[in-house]
């Protein structure tokens, strides 16, 4: 179909979500003869893979964020809308935001996924996850406040609970958090306190599967585990958390049940498609998997709706090797680019072969000079992997104008081992400072 | 008096507040034969003069903060305590924090000052001030949310209120905020929106005195005003705010009363000594001035208490030319250093002449390539002053390991005119995104 240059005659593309999937779809449509509307609840795109570095005091939120309006400032065919989508009307081809409707010709849903608490949603406050800037600030507050509270605590048992950090989930986020907290406790903060020895801290990583980083090869996974243990992290695999209550986390390994007192329990487990999956299922009858992710067709559309695409973590794409693709940035980016190309092909009356994910490898940072790289044809560990991890992340931050900034902070952190972004901030921090006075003073 | 090397026999110095005054006292005692306890509600020192750059999206909080424990990590005679002081017992020489007491031989109170709402404390939420990281994040949220809401607003009158920014107070903070918001509206954000023209924004600076920056010479103050006006800021001097209600700010200039609708009213006026002044007054009988600042003796002690010092914004030191010294960083730093030297002299049975403030000049940043420098013997304006401002601030950030980082961001901001730290974050931002949906869509 020929497309008029007149705005109103143009093909209307609406994208819900400004994560990797939505951002890359919009970027690859920036020069296309379509109108693009990108809707997000937040005014910035977040480079989520580095969020754990905000939570542990290395980077600031703005270092890993890009204001969406700035990204699309020069793309005059693209408008950014701040707000939340409540509903979709696939018959009328409309997206509903409060009392307003936005018509679309093609809709891309890219609202991502959250952690899953496996039905125990009350654990959310007790063991916060790491998906948003607010999550990271809150996690940072809890981690650094725990050391502060331990410094003031005279009761040995309470002090032990304050210096016990439990991380639930042994995927990349859990591994990276555990490694970063171990470095904090055993290196960075070692000289900073007068009453406690931060190296007495206990860092426990609980993993449901039989090994950490189950998405990489078993030998590398073993190296990762050994590296974490060398850093001081206690790893427990085949372990399921059965209860979290009164700062006590209870978990089960086989028949063995353990309960441990910990003031800082962090959640990095499970995948749960965002609520938009339910909306899509209700309105279109599309099927979702057990994790609430939308089952997509080989071309990333949903069954029966040629003009509705789902990209990124929200989708379950199982056409490649029977297993769903992992919820990682490269999948979302490649899917976004694919959909942008398909839309343009279709406008020319053509089409594209099914989406194919080009696996780029898996990386995980464990600590200073310690990482794991699995490219399939190449496996790296230790210092070399660490350098590779840095280069890859710097490369992917290229689209962010913060690349040099991040490099600089990493370099500084490497030299000084200081975590300069370890601020305890937020409304809670403020209230806490005002109410919780110190409980002990010693020299 | 000879001082034993034994910890318990050492002279105990307690410092309340980790701002410029407290930090510099502690720093200059780091090698002294005394024990130092530095108490603060927050776990970081804040470089407040640059806080307006956080509020307007140029820098991140961590860029202008220094973790107190990191600053004193190597000063083994210094311990940092996180918490709030409730009371002081000058007879028993004790500081009270909740149910704990901390004994002192010498006490330094350096808890600073807040904005004064001149008795209208309910204005605080309607027109937030700029003293803490949380204040800056909240100001940033309000400023950028106002543009976002304007983008969605169809009602012209409401849109005008959203694009009207009123800054109360024409001192350095007010001037710098007004200049930064003008640059945002008229330059940085110009291309970012599709429905509004951000250059229609109105930025109003209300000043009680007869000129902006009344602490610098009248000719420079005039240049500052002219520069602000050239940037697009509307300045109204001799103006007093009489009411703030329902997003309408009412103000009086002579007999003329004006009411203007504005969704973003920012407060940068008045000085009010922190609550610790009242505690000191009650416990020691020391006099406070009308702004609630403690009247100090020529050696910065308080009347009748040779071992209690007040440094920085909390103090009113009027022994130099009859007027109280201004509440600026150089005064606090020089006072901190003086007190640290005096304590050491006294331990040797000696003393020091009265404190004398060595005036280092006044600076104010107005906008890109635009600043004001008044060194007394040298006055600069425009580009030269701007370069001078940068050099001075970079120099003073030397004690922060963030100096290069800030320089880099300024350089980047200068080249791109982007404000990369313009995140709308915080719990309120999150709730807002979830509830306030867009109210209009246009192309």
Q: Is the pLDDT of residue B381 over 70?
A: yes
Q: DSSP states of B147-202 as a string?
A: HHHHHH---HHHHHHHTEEEEE--SHHHHHHHHHHHHIIIIITTTT-SS--GGG-E
State residue A405's pLDDT score: 65
- 3-state class of B266 per DSSP? strand
CA B322 to each of CA A194, A294, B317: distance values in angstroms, whole numbers, following the listed order: 44, 74, 9
Instruction: Given the residues B138, B151, B153, B176, select the one marked as catalytic.
Output: B176
Q: Per-residue pLDDT for B88 more than 70?
A: yes
**B143, B181 Cβ separation under 8 angstroms:** yes
Residue B411 in contact with partner chain A when CB distance is under 8 A: no
Whether B153 and B178 have beta carbons less than 8 Å apart is answered as no
Instruction: Give the pLDDT confidence score for residue B438 in this predicted structure.
Output: 35
CB-CB contact of A40 with A68 (8 Å):
yes
Kindly report the CATH class assigned to A7-41+83-115+272-347: alpha beta
Cβ contact, residue pair A62, B65, below 8 Å: no
Q: What is the CATH number of domain A123-270+369-435?
A: 3.50.50.100
Contact A40, A78 (CB under 8 A): no
Candidate from B41, B67, B440 with C-beta closest to A433? B41
Within 355-374 of B, beta carbons closer than 8 Å to A belong to none
Report the alpha-carbon distance of residue A137 to residue A145 in Å, rounded.
Answer: 12
Those residues with Cβ within 8 angstroms of residue A356's Cβ, 6 or more apart along the chain or in another chain: A320
Number of H helices, E strands in chain A: 13, 25
Instruction: State phi, psi for A181 to the nearest 5 degrees.
Output: -70, -35
Strand order in the sheet with B379-381: B362-367, B370-374, B379-381
Q: Which residue has the higher pLDDT, B165 or B382?
A: B165
In angstroms and rounded to an integer, the radius of gyration of the C-alpha atoms of chain B is: 23
Q: What angle do CA A290, A294, A300 make, to 5 degrees?
A: 145
Q: For residue range B313-371, what is the model confidence (pLDDT) as tens digits?
A: 999 999 998 999 999 999 999 999 999 999 999 999 999 999 999 988 888 888 888 88
Catalytic residue among A176, A183, A297, A337: A176
Query: Do A104 and A79 touch, CB atoms closer than 8 A?
Result: no
Question: What pLDDT is attached to residue A270?
Answer: 92
* pLDDT at site B192: 94
Q: How far is B103 from chain A (nearest CA, A)?
A: 10
Secondary structure class of B218 (helix, strand, coil): helix
Domain boundary assignment for chain A: 7-41+83-115+272-347, 123-270+369-435
- Segment B274-289, tens digit of pLDDT: 999 999 999 999 999 9
**Active site includes B176?**
yes
Query: Which residues of chain A carry a pLDDT beneath 70?
Result: 1-8, 397-409, 411-418, 420, 427-443
Cβ distance B82 to A422 less than 8 Å, yes or no, reads: no
What residues 145-164 of chain B have any CB closer than 8 A to a CB of chain A?
Answer: 148, 151-152
pLDDT of residue A408: 65
Q: How many residue contacts between A and B have a Cβ separation below 8 Å?
A: 203
Give the per-residue pLDDT at B101. Answer: 94
Using the 8-state DSSP alphabet, how is residue B128 labeled?
-
Please state, in angstroms and rounded to a whole number, the distance separating the CA atoms of residues B293 and A222. 62
**pTM, rounded to two decimals:** 0.90
Fold agreement between B7-41+83-115+272-347 and B123-270+369-435: yes
For B74, which DSSP code?
A: T
Residues within 8 A of B (CB atoms), A 38-57 only: 41-44
The whole-number pLDDT of residue A161 equals: 98
- What are the DSSP E strand ranges found in A75-193? 78-82, 87-89, 94-97, 100-103, 106-109, 113-114, 164-168
Model pLDDT, residue A416: 65
Per DSSP bridges, beta strands B65-67 and B94-97 are unpaired
Distance of CA B324 to the CA centre of its chain: 18
B316: left (phi over 0), alpha (psi -120 to 50) or beta: beta
Q: Do A84 and B132 touch (CB under 8 A)?
A: no
Using a CB-CB cut-off of 8 Å, the residues of chain B touching A35 are 443
Q: Nearest CA of chain B to the CA of A53: how many Å? A: 13
DSSP type of residue B325 = P
State CA B310 to chain mean position distance. Answer: 18
Query: Looking at residue A325, what is its pLDDT?
Result: 95
Q: What is residue B388's predicted lDDT score, i.e. its pLDDT?
A: 86
A301-343 tens-digit pLDDT: 999 999 999 999 999 999 998 999 999 999 999 999 999 999 9
Confidence of residue B442 (pLDDT cuts 50, 70, 90): very low
Chain B hits for A62, Cβ within 8 Å: 60, 420-421, 423
C-alpha torsion sign, points B124, B128, B134, B137: positive
Higher pLDDT, B268 or B423: B268
Q: Answer whether B61 sits within 8 Å of A423, measured CB to CB.
A: yes
Percent of chain B with pLDDT strictly greater than 70: 89
Dmax over CA atoms of chain A, in Å, equals: 79
CA distances from A136 to A55, A59, A229 (A): 4, 11, 24
Q: Which of A37, A62, A191 sits opposite B73 (nearest CB)?
A: A191
Contact flag B408-A404 (C-beta cutoff 8 Å): yes
In Å, what is the CA distance from B257 to each residue of B121, B174, B243, B252, B253? 22, 21, 11, 4, 7
Gyration radius (Cα) of chain A, Å: 23
Q: Is B247 exposed, middle or buried (0-12, 13-18, 19+ CB in 10 A)?
A: middle
Of A264, A168, A157, A174, nearest in space to A213 by CA? A174
> Interior CA angle at A350 toward A346 and A353, to 5°?
95
**Residue A75 DSSP label:** -
Task: Report the pLDDT value the prediction gives residue A7, as an integer from 0 to 100.
Answer: 54
pLDDT band for position B2 (50/70/90)?
very low
Report the gap between the CA of A134 and the closest CA in chain B (Å). 6
Say if CB A227 and CB A213 are below 8 A apart: no
Contacts B37 to A, Cβ<8 Å: 441
How many whole angstroms separate alpha carbon B414 and alpha carbon B420?
12
């Amino acid at each position: 179909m020929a497309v008029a240059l007149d705005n109103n005659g143009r093909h209307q593309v609406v994208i819900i979500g400004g994560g990797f999937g939505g951002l890359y779809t919009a970027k690859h449509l920036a020069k296309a003869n379509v109108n693009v509307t990108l809707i997000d609840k937040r005014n910035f795109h977040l480079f989520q893979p580095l969020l754990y570095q905000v939570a542990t005091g290395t980077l600031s939120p703005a270092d890993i964020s890009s204001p969406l309006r700035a990204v699309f400032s020069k793309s005059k065919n693209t408008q950014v809308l701040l707000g939340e989508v409540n509903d979709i009307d696939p018959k009328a081809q409309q997206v509903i935001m409060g009392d307003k409707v936005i018509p679309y010709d093609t809709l891309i849903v890219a609202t991502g996924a959250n952690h899953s608490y496996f039905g125990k949603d009350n654990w959310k406050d007790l063991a916060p996850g790491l998906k948003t800037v607010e999550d990271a600030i809150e996690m940072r507050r809890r981690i650094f406040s725990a050391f502060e509270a331990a410094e003031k605590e005279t009761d040995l048992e309470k002090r032990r609970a304050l210096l016990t950090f439990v991380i639930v989930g042994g995927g990349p986020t859990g591994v990276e958090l555990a490694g970063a907290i171990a470095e904090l406790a055993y290196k960075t903060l070692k000289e900073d306190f007068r009453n406690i020895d931060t190296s007495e801290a206990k860092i426990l990583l609980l993993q449901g599967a039989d090994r950490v980083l189950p998405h990489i090869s078993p030998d590398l996974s073993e190296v990762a585990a050994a590296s974490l243990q060398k850093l001081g992290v206690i790893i427990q695999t085949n372990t399921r958390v059965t209860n979290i209550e009164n700062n006590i986390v209870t978990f089960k390994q086989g028949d063995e049940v353990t309960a441990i007192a910990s003031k800082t329990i962090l959640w990095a487990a499970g995948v749960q498609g965002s609520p938009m999956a339910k909306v899509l299922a209700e309105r279109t009858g599309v099927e979702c998997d057990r994790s609430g992710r939308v089952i997509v067709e080989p071309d990333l559309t949903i069954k029966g709706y040629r003009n509705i695409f789902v990209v990124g973590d929200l989708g379950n794409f199982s056409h490649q090797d029977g297993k769903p693709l992992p919820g990682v940035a490269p999948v979302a980016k490649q899917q976004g680019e694919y959909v942008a190309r398909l839309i343009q092909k279709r406008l020319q009356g053509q089409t594209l072969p099914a989406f194919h994910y080009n696996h780029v490898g898996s990386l995980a940072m464990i600590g200073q000079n310690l990482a794991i790289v699995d490219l399939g044809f190449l496996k790296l560990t230790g210092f070399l992997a660490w350098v590779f991890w840095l280069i890859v992340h710097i490369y992917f931050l290229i689209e962010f104008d913060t690349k040099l900034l991040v490099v600089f902070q990493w370099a500084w952190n490497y030299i000084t081992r200081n975590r300069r972004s370890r601020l305890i901030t937020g409304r809670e921090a403020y209230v806490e400072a005002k109410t919780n006075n110190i409980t002990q003073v010693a020299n």
